[in-house]
Amino acid sequence: MKYLFKILRFDPRQDEHPYFQDYSYETEETKSVLEALMEIRNVQDCSLSFRYSCREAICGSCAMVVNGKFDLACRTELESLDSPLIVVEPLPNLEIQKDLVVDLDPFWEALVKIEPFLHSEGAIPEKGHRIEDEKIDKIFQYVNCILCGCCYSACPVVSKRENYLGPAALAKLYRFVKDPRDKRPFKNWSRVNTEGGAWGCHTIFKCNEVCPKEVRPADGIEALRRKLIVEKIKSLNPFKR
């Protein structure tokens, strides 16, 4: 099969504008977009830059936009695109560092803001914590997040509102407050009770749509909102603390 790749190129330290470069690529085998990019790099143009590591859709390195669709390049098979023309672009709404490599710092910084670590209390229980499997099942949906950045990059609110935490961070927060071991006080996480936090989301579900791991982060945001309301009511009721 013969393909024409149009790949977005940009080196902000040299180029004035991003531009598309064409590469023709031919293969008889089943190849992923990532494998094709690597071959194009090796054989045709060693200056082409992109990130990768695991090649099995678990490390979150290779998120990009292929023929308009957000996905991991390593799990996107050329054949599945059903087109001889393949347009490859970096994740939007993030600064391009070079070609398909984008600066994810805003994404990581948003994550840090929700204190993304278990607030467990006290000493390690001698025989471990006791947690029913159903409780673990409930958070596992969010635990599956590989922090690839697709949802953050695709979210229309992130692109407009600078301080919006974005889907992955908010879903991660929900993963922790839902964890029976997590003892963070309500006043700590109620900080997301704002437009920059849980209420910023316009429930457009773009994040759910683009997530390659079926995390459905917007489910987490909605659940977080419900929990915020419940906790708020609880904290207002002087008889039940």
Partner 1 sequence: MLSHDILIVGGGLAGLSAALSSDPSLSVAVISKVHPLRSHSVAAQGGINAALGNNPDGKDDSWERHAFDTIKGSDYLADQDTAELMCQEASLTIYELEHLGVPFSRFPGGVIAQRPFGGAGFPRTCYAADRTGLVILHTLYEQSVRQNVRFYNEWLVTQLVVKDGRCLGVIVYDLENAEFMPVQAKAVVFATGGYGRVYMKTTNAFINHGSGIGAAYRAGVPLKDLEFVQFHPTSLLGKNILITEGARGEGGYLVNNKGRRFMEDYAPRSMELSPRDIVARAIQTEIDKGNGYESQYVHLDIRHLGAEKIKKRLPGIREICINFAGLDPIDTPIPIQPAQHYSMGGIDVDKNCASAVEGFYAAGECACVSVHGANRLGGNSLLDTVVFGKIAGKKISEYVRGANGVTDSEKNLLDAALKFKNRVEGWRKKDSGEKFHILMGRLKALMNEKVGLFRNKNELAQCLETIQELREAYEYVYISGPCLRFSQELVNIIEYESMLDLAEVITIGALNREETRGSHYRLDFEKRNDDEWLKHTLITWKEGKPQISYKDVFIGKYQPAERKY
Nearest approach in angstroms of CB 70 to ligand SF4 is 8
CA–CA distance from 106 to each of 13, 102, 103, 153 (Å)? 20, 11, 8, 10
Nearest approach in angstroms of CB 62 to ligand FES is 3
| H runs (alpha helix) in the chain | 33-39, 105-113, 133-143, 150-154, 156-160, 167-177, 186-189, 206-210, 217-236
Nearest approach in angstroms of CB 74 to ligand SF4 is 13
Select from 110-118, 173-181, 191-199, 205-213 the region that touches ligand SF4 (CB under 6 A).
205-213
Computed on alpha carbons and rounded to an integer, the radius of gyration of the chain in Å comes to: 21
Of 175, 206, 225, 227, the one binding ligand SF4 (CB under 6 A) is 206
Find which of partner 1, ligand SF4, ligand FES, none residue 211 binds, CB within 5 to 8 Å per kind.
Answer: ligand SF4
Contact between 24 and 6 (Cβ < 8 Å): no
Residues in contact with partner 1 by the rule CB under 8 A? 11, 13-14, 30, 38, 41-43, 45-49, 51-61, 75, 97-99, 101, 104, 111-112, 115-118, 120, 124-133, 136, 139-140, 143-144, 146-147, 179, 181
Which residues is 71 bridged to in the sheet? 64
Residues in contact with ligand FES by the rule CB under 6 A? 52-55, 57-62, 72, 74
Residue 94's contacts (CB-CB under 8 Å, 6 or more residues apart) are: 102, 103, 104, 106, 107, 149, 153
φ and ψ of 54, to 5 deg: -75, -30
Helices 133-143 and 217-236, interaxial angle, to 10°?
120
Q: Interaction with ligand SF4 in 112-171: which residues (CB under 6 A)?
A: 145-151, 155-157, 167-168, 171
Residue 211 in the binding site for ligand SF4 (CB under 6 A): yes
**Residues in touch with ligand SF4 (CB under 6 A):** 145-151, 155-157, 167-168, 171, 201-207, 211, 213, 215, 217-218, 221
